[in-house]
């Protein structure tokens, strides 16, 4: 027995040794990197170490000495030239022609010196600041000579301003100089205000020429700060001119607004149209929105101030159609889809305002609801998820208008002023929510369910308001007992019907909706009816609720299918 056990152990040891040798041979076969390298095979050279490019740290001394000094110096020269013109006028030191000649000579000399320094003595920030200050001073001198002293005819003065603006645009683009754009062009935009040239049409034309120069630089360089600065400097001057002009020249005011709208739109999206980009910059979007608010608001206000209310509404709606039309071109591939989406969104927002101005009551609710349905159709065709935001906006506006004006929550206590208007508003909102849910059911399941819930709430809210308004006594202090009894019965019957329908069709959402409405009916009976209704009505309310709840429990236990 012992001999057999010893033999078995010896056999197992031999097999284990053989298995270990086989494993070692397999490891050597399938792991060649572990094998010794032949002597004749040269070893590969070591890979050179990768060195990351070093980014030079900004030198504070160089920034202050080479740039800031030049910027501040150029700005100081511009302000000094302006102050000289103003002081010479106030104190009468020299006659007007001499002032103008000195201002032009000094500005031209400054511009020429800057060009010489930049081209011959190195491309320094000081040279750029000198050129920029010369441009701004020359523009201010031209504005003062034309508007303050009447020494230059308006046509000639505007022609000189156009030449200066074109030169500033070419220099800023060719040299890619932010200094020339910041001091020269923005200074030219400020020139009419700095020299106190008044609010005439010629003064506005000087500012518009400088704005066109700024837009030209924006189209080629896309400097966000220049877009913001140009709008902030020019918009107030435009507003002052409108306030002083619209009463006497309404048509001219509208034409000027349209021209400035075009300039601002070009400044906002000109670069994106010239150089296709996948995304739209925040600065461009902000400028486009600010332009829409300024032009639509100013046009509507001046028209309404002149008692043209319908024309003011038409102005806003017409501008909305223009934006939507431009956005439609973007969706067709003529421009970036981002630009098209933004233009369409601005147009949709303006159309909402236009509807609010043009319509009131249920007609406004119908307009907003129809626009929500149309936008949902567009979102389905284009697969553009951002269009759903517009759908939500218009539905929220429609629901809010109904709950504030046509059928507020107080209608469940005292009724409404006009049952017909309330019924139209509630029905339209419900139908719009149902239509949108059907159109967007493939894109957003949660959103479709929320819209179906809104439609169901409208379906219950409409007969509730109708019952209370029909059976109320008309006295706010004592509207009567019958409406509340019938309202509790309606909610209970509707909740029970939804529960039974959900059980029969085995749809959990319908069952939960029925249970929710039954819970609301229970809360109303115990919290409101118990405290407000008289004895007989209280008894009827509790008995009816009890019968409905018992019926619901019986139906749930008999019809509830077994869980799978």
Q: Point out the least confidently predicted range of 66-75, 316-325, 405-414.
A: 66-75
Residue 196: left (phi > 0), alpha (psi -120 to 50), or beta?
left
Kind plus residue range of the DSSP H or E element containing 452: helix 445-471
Q: Write the DSSP assignment of 50-113 as a string of letters.
A: P-PPPPPPPPHHHIIIIIIHHHHHHHHHHHHHHHHHHHHHHHT-S-HHHHHHHHHHHHHHHHHH
Looking at residue 74, what is its pLDDT?
Answer: 54
How far apart CA 138 and CA 101 sit, in angstroms, is 11
Q: Point out the least confidently predicted range of 26-35, 237-246, 535-544.
A: 26-35
How far apart CA 21 and CA 29 sit, in angstroms, is 13
Looking at residue 50, what is its pLDDT?
Answer: 42
Looking at residue 34, what is its pLDDT?
Answer: 43
**485 pLDDT more than 50:** yes
Looking at residue 166, what is its pLDDT?
Answer: 94
CA 34 to chain CA centroid, Å, is 63
Closest CA to 211 of 181, 241, 249: 181
Asked if residue 494 lies in contact with residue 545, where contact means CB atoms within 8 angstroms, the answer is no
Token pair belonging to 16:
């284990």
For 177-196, write each residue's pLDDT tens digit: 888 888 889 989 998 988 88
Q: Point out the least confidently predicted range of 32-46, 75-89, 105-119, 468-482.
A: 32-46
Q: Phi/psi at 56 (nearest 5 deg)?
A: -65, 135
For 299-324, write each residue's pLDDT tens digit: 999 999 999 999 999 999 999 999 98
* pLDDT band, very low/low/confident/very high, at 269 (cuts 50, 70, 90): confident
Token pair belonging to 415:
């009724």
Domain-by-domain residue ranges, the chain? 67-227, 246-350, 359-469, 481-564
* pLDDT band, very low/low/confident/very high, at 474 (cuts 50, 70, 90): low
How far apart CA 267 and CA 294 sit, in angstroms, is 15
For 222-242, write each residue's pLDDT tens digit: 888 898 899 999 999 999 999
The dihedral of CA 325, 331, 332, 335: what is its sign?
positive
How far apart CA 539 and CA 536 sit, in angstroms, is 5
CB atoms within 10 A of CB 486: 18
**70 pLDDT more than 60:** no
* pLDDT band, very low/low/confident/very high, at 30 (cuts 50, 70, 90): low
Q: Point out the least confidently predicted range of 18-27, 140-149, 216-225, 368-377.
A: 18-27
For 497-506, write each residue's pLDDT tens digit: 998 998 888 8
How far apart CA 192 and CA 324 sit, in angstroms, is 35
Side-chain-side CA neighbours of 126 within 13 Å: the count stands at 10
Looking at residue 5, what is its pLDDT?
Answer: 66
Token pair belonging to 254:
């509208």
Burial of 516 (0-12, 13-18, 19+ CB in 10 A): middle
Helix intervals (H) in 332-444: 337-358, 362-382, 387-401, 411-414, 419-439
* pLDDT band, very low/low/confident/very high, at 427 (cuts 50, 70, 90): very high
Average pLDDT score, the chain: 82
**93 pLDDT more than 60:** no
Looking at residue 65, what is its pLDDT?
Answer: 42
Q: What angle do CA 148, 149, 152 make, to 5 degrees?
A: 110
Q: Phi/psi at 443 (nearest 5 deg)?
A: -100, -30
**41 pLDDT more than 50:** no
């Amino acid at each position: 027995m012992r001999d057999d056990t010893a033999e078995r152990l010896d056999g197992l040891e031999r097999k284990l040794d053989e298995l270990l040798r086989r494993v070692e041979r397999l490891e050597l076969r399938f792991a060649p990197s572990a094998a010794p390298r032949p002597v004749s095979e040269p070893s590969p050279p070591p890979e050179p170490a990768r060195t990351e490019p070093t980014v030079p740290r900004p030198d504070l001394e160089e920034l202050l000495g080479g740039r800031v000094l030049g910027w501040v110096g150029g700005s100081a020269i511009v302000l000094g030239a302006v102050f000289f013109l103003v002081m010479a006028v106030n104190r009468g030191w020299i006659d007007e022609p001499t002032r103008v000649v000195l201002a032009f000579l000094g500005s031209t000399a400054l511009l020429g010196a800057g060009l010489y320094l930049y081209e011959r003595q190195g491309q320094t920030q000081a040279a750029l600041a000198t050129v920029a200050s010369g441009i701004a001073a020359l523009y201010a001198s031209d504005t003062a000579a034309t508007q303050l002293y009447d020494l230059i005819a308006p046509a000639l003065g505007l022609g000189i301003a156009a030449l200066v603006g074109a030169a500033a645009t070419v220099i800023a683009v060719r040299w890619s100089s932010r200094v020339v754009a910041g001091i020269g062009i923005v200074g030219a935009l400020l020139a009419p205000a700095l020299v106190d040239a008044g609010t005439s049409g010629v003064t506005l034309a000087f500012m518009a020429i400088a704005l066109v120069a700024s837009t030209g630089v924006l189209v080629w360089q896309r400097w966000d700060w220049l877009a913001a600065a140009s709008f902030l400097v020019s918009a107030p001057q435009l507003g002052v001119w409108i306030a002083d002009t619209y009463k006497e020249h309404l048509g001219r005011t509208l034409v000027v607004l349209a021209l400035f709208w075009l300039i601002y739109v070009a400044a906002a999206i000109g670069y994106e149209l010239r150089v296709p980009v996948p995304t739209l910059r925040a600065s461009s979007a902000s400028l486009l929105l600010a332009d829409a608010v300024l032009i639509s608001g100013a046009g509507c206000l001046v028209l309404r101030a002149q008692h043209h209310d319908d024309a003011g509404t038409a102005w806003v709606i017409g501008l909305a159609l223009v934006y939507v039309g431009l956005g439609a071109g973007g969706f067709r591939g003529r421009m970036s889809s981002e630009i098209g989406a933004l233009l369409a969104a601005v147009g949709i927002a303006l159309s909402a305002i236009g509807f609010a101005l043009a319509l009131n009551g249920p007609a406004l609710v119908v307009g907003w609801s129809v626009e929500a349905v149309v936008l949902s159709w567009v979102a389905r065709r284009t697969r553009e998820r951002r269009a759903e935001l517009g759908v939500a906006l218009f539905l929220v506006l429609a629901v809010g208008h109904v709950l504030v004006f046509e059928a507020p929550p107080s209608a469940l206590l005292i009724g409404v002023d006009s049952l017909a208007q309330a019924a139209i508003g509630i029905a339209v909102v419900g139908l719009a929510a149902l239509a949108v849910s059907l159109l967007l059911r493939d894109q957003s399941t949660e959103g479709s369910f929320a819209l179906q819930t809104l439609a169901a709430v409208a379906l219950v809210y409409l007969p509730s308001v109708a019952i209370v308004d029909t059976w109320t006594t008309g006295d706010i202090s004592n509207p009567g007992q019958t409406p509340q009894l019938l309202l509790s019965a309606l909610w209970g019957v509707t909740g029970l019907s939804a529960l039974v329908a959900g059980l029969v069709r085995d749809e959990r959402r319908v069952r939960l909706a029925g249970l929710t409405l039954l819970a609301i009916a229970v809360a109303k009976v115990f919290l409101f009816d118990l405290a407000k209704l008289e004895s007989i009505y209280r008894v009827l309310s509790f008995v009816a609720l009890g019968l409905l709840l018992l019926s619901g429990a019986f139906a749930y236990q008999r019809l509830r299918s077994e869980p799978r």
